[in-house]
Amino acid sequence: SAPRPFAAVDLGAASGRVMLGRVADGELSLTEAHRFPNEPVRVGPTLHWDILALYRGVLDGLRAAGRTAGGRLASVGVDSWAVDYGLLDASGALLGNPVHYRDGRTEGVAARVAEALPPRDLYAATGLQELPFNTVYQLAAARDTPQLAAARTLLLIPDLIAYWLTGVAGTELTNASTTQLIDPRTRDWSPVVADAVGVDLGLFPPLRLPGAPAGELLPGVLDGTGLTGPVPVTAVGSHDTASAVAGVPAAGERFAYIATGTWSLAGVELDAPVLSEESRRANFTNELGVDGTVRYLRNIMGLWLLQECLRDWAAAGEPHDLGPLLERAAAAAPLRSVVDAGDPAFIAPGRMPERIARACRRGGQPVPRDAGETVRCVLDSLALAHRAAVEDAVRLSGRAVDTVHVVGGGARNALLCQLTADACGLPVVAGPAEAAALGNVLTQARAAGAVAGGLAESRALLAATQPLRHHEPSGDRAVWDRAAARLADAGAADAE
């Protein structure tokens, strides 16, 4: 009989999915069992994840996966976005709905933490890019709340889902590295940071590594999903970006990657962190990857800018279909105006077209006149930010690259991929779009002995089996230099 498939639960900020991965004799295929929207809910001032709706989506997905697979799965792995968490009380009950990283409660908190621990010391200890929503800042914002006082356990989102599926609590390392409480040199907790910020590390269950066993589906879960036990759950790179990087179909090590979805995560894979002051000032992060790797990358706003424009236009009664809109963007004048896609001012939701127009005006650039021009501005700006991140990663790490791999949802956006190739002056290999789910599946398959070798062998399997598109760099790179200079001037004028 055919070998049992692996189920990858992959929760993104815009949607969640359960994918079935089949691995056998040099073959690797991925099919979608179930996809469901991820719709945050504002209650009072606070933006929450609808965690039970997401968990229902996971159960529906496992049921659908089971139907396709005759009720039998080889294993399940869970990944999601990073930094966010749920708190459990002493009985294991969830305390409140997890708060969304785009919630405003962390405003100004980084400055407060900086008084206890100077940014350069925090960076030297954790190597993490300062983003307002890092778990450390969320916990500092929640300090002295009754909820945190009642909490006995903190579970990052994928660990929370895994806990509900198995009853086993753990803290997967790649995602733990986004808390800003992990030292990337020891790949263990940093008591120095925890003490300085007043975080109780005892809230975190033991660390576990990608590939480690993470329990079995509980009898109630098997019942509810029609699966036949035992079904093991395997820790994967539970940070979706860690799984996406594991899912990059690269050969060798001379490559940069850009994991594009709601965010663009652009950088290189290293063996050791870069913790220099220069790296901190360049806003580079050292997140941990599977197999002892370091994901040296920069967080860039990503397709969030486009998603939020679409949401705004639809709410205003002028919905746009993405296909025609991208055609208009492709036909629009290139690099007419660009915004800083790394600017934290774009993190919060709402009124995105207006905010983009304002940023253009402030930078002394023409304001986009319609939706097509707005989308062109977004994609040009992303390509420009991709280029800066790739160049800085190369410069700061000393790792030379000759190819840029674009994976994740943005790999489907041919215009974005071509602009990225043009801006970087490097060939772009686009795909797979479902790199996170594939990285998730491959980590499980390796743990089960269904795929031999390490990351390199898994990547060769991806390259041999997944459809990829190639974009050669075209045009004059100097136009990108000029756009970058324009943006730098605007930023300098703004800071004055």
Q: How far is the CB of 262 from ligand LFR (least distance, A)?
A: 6
Stretch that binds ligand LFR, among 182-190, 255-263, 306-314, 369-377 (CB under 6 A): 255-263
Near ligand LFR by CB under 6 A: residue from 6, 49, 85, 101: 101
With tokens 């930078």, the residue in question is: 363
- C-beta neighbour count of 460 within 10 angstroms: 15
**Catalytic pick from 10, 240, 340, 392?**
240
Near ligand LFR by CB under 6 A: residue from 49, 81, 85, 189: 81
- Tell me: does residue 174 bind ligand LFR (CB under 6 A): no
Q: How far is CA 424 from CA 17, 83, 245, 339, 472, in A?
A: 32, 30, 19, 17, 10
- Tell me: does residue 240 bind ligand LFR (CB under 6 A): yes
Q: How far is the CB of 201 from ligand LFR (least distance, A)?
A: 21
Near ligand LFR by CB under 6 A: residue from 265, 378, 382, 462: 265
**Cβ proximity to ligand LFR, 244 vs 335, nearer residue:** 244
* Per rule CB under 6 A, count of chain residues that contact ligand LFR: 14
Q: How far is the CB of 285 from ligand LFR (least distance, A)?
A: 8
- Tell me: does residue 139 bind ligand LFR (CB under 6 A): no
Known active-site residue 240: yes
- Tell me: does residue 151 bind ligand LFR (CB under 6 A): no
**Cβ proximity to ligand LFR, 34 vs 100, nearer residue:** 100
- C-beta neighbour count of 189 within 10 angstroms: 18
Can you read off the two tokens belonging to residue 437? 């789910």
**Cβ proximity to ligand LFR, 37 vs 70, nearer residue:** 37
Can you read off the two tokens belonging to residue 444? 């499980």
Stretch that binds ligand LFR, among 43-51, 70-78, 80-88, 162-170 (CB under 6 A): 80-88
Q: How far is the CB of 418 from ligand LFR (least distance, A)?
A: 23
| Separation of alpha carbons 298 and 282, rounded Å | 9
- Tell me: does residue 279 bind ligand LFR (CB under 6 A): no
Q: How far is the CB of 433 from ligand LFR (least distance, A)?
A: 14
Q: How far is the CB of 83 from ligand LFR (least distance, A)?
A: 5
| Separation of alpha carbons 381 and 293, rounded Å | 29
Residues in the chain: 496
Q: Find, among 388, 183, 131, 208, the residue nearest to 294 by Cα.
A: 183
| Separation of alpha carbons 89 and 436, rounded Å | 31
**Cβ proximity to ligand LFR, 215 vs 408, nearer residue:** 408
**Cβ proximity to ligand LFR, 304 vs 480, nearer residue:** 304
| Separation of alpha carbons 455 and 355, rounded Å | 41
- Tell me: does residue 83 bind ligand LFR (CB under 6 A): yes
**Cβ proximity to ligand LFR, 84 vs 312, nearer residue:** 84
- Tell me: does residue 299 bind ligand LFR (CB under 6 A): yes
| Separation of alpha carbons 309 and 315, rounded Å | 10
Stretch that binds ligand LFR, among 137-145, 261-269, 342-350, 469-477 (CB under 6 A): 261-269
**Cβ proximity to ligand LFR, 133 vs 204, nearer residue:** 133
- Tell me: does residue 263 bind ligand LFR (CB under 6 A): yes
Q: How far is the CB of 130 from ligand LFR (least distance, A)?
A: 12
Q: How far is the CB of 454 from ligand LFR (least distance, A)?
A: 23
Kindly list the catalytic residues. Answer: 240
Can you give the binding site for ligand LFR, defined by CB under 6 A? 12-13, 81-83, 101, 239-241, 261-263, 265, 299
